[in-house]
């Protein structure tokens, strides 16, 4: 299903790009603060990063479309009570610090309030490409490979080549691959 959604989004993007008047592109990098809303994992906010490329396609004077491809590191921590929730499948001596590496693809719709200030919002799909978790007795990952969510934020344009932005990501997918009793959701600023 996620592949179909990604293919549909790509087709729409290609249609918009073919009729676009102006396309801007560049690189982006940021520091993120990730918090996992999950039973058995720490609720403490941990620092990670994003880096990648973006393109901005002008739709009209006020609206733009901004697809991005990002490499994202989200750090999470196993809670002291992990074995309370996953006593049958969990490893008691598993790594406490877990690194989740994703390829993330947000597609943001931007609304320009002024030349300086822009609001953005849109869906984001992420694919887990690497995880160092060893939370389970089996060799499988405790985290699902696919994740979907929404991103919203603001952007300030100081010059044509330099923008500052702040976004909030709200994970909609349950990424708990252990069982369906407890839901795990990412939150990221």
pLDDT in the model for residue 10 = 61
Domains in the chain, number = 1
Cα separation of 107 and 10, whole Å?
A: 10
Mean pLDDT of 88-105: 89
Mean pLDDT of 147-152: 95
pLDDT in the model for residue 21 = 64
Segments of the chain assigned E as strands: 23-37, 46-58, 63-77, 97-112, 117-131, 146-159, 162-171, 185-188
Band (pLDDT 50/70/90 cuts) for residue 136 is: confident
Tokens read off for 87: 């006593």
Tokens read off for 185: 């959701």
In terms of residue numbers, what domain contains 44? 2-188
Mean pLDDT of 58-80: 92
pLDDT in the model for residue 75 = 93
Cα separation of 103 and 116, whole Å?
A: 29
Is the predicted pLDDT of residue 129 greater than 90, yes or no? yes
pLDDT in the model for residue 60 = 87
pLDDT in the model for residue 1 = 55
Better-scored residue on pLDDT, 5 or 153: 153
pLDDT in the model for residue 162 = 81
Is the predicted pLDDT of residue 2 greater than 80, yes or no? no
Band (pLDDT 50/70/90 cuts) for residue 161 is: confident
pLDDT in the model for residue 95 = 83
Is the predicted pLDDT of residue 160 greater than 90, yes or no? no
pLDDT in the model for residue 14 = 58
Band (pLDDT 50/70/90 cuts) for residue 98 is: very high
Mean pLDDT of 102-112: 94
CA distance to 4, 11, 110, 131, 170, per residue, from 152 (Å): 23, 23, 10, 26, 9
Which CATH number characterizes residue 23's domain?
Answer: 2.40.160.20
80's CB contacts (< 8 A; 6+ apart) are: none
pTM, two decimal places? 0.84
């Amino acid at each position: 299903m996620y592949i179909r959604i990604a293919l549909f989004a790509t087709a729409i993007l290609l249609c918009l790009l073919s009729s676009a008047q102006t396309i801007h592109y560049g690189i982006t990098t940021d520091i993120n603060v990730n918090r996992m809303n999950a039973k058995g994992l720490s609720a403490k906010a941990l620092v990670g990063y994003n880096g990648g490329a973006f393109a901005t396609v002008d739709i009209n004077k006020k609206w733009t479309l901004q697809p991005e491809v990002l490499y994202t590191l989200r750090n999470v921590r196993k809670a002291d009570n992990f074995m309370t929730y996953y006593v049958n499948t969990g490893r008691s001596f598993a790594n406490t610090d877990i690194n989740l590496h994703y390829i993330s693809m947000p597609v943001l719709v931007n609304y320009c309030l002024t030349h300086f200030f822009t609001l953005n919002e849109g869906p984001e799909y992420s694919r887990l490409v690497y995880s160092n978790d060893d939370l389970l007795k089996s060799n499988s990952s405790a985290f699902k490979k696919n994740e979907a969510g929404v991103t919203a934020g603001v952007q300030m344009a100081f010059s044509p080549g330099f923008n500052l932005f702040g976004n909030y990501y709200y994970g909609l997918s349950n990424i708990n691959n252990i069982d369906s009793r407890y839901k795990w959701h990412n939150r990221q600023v």
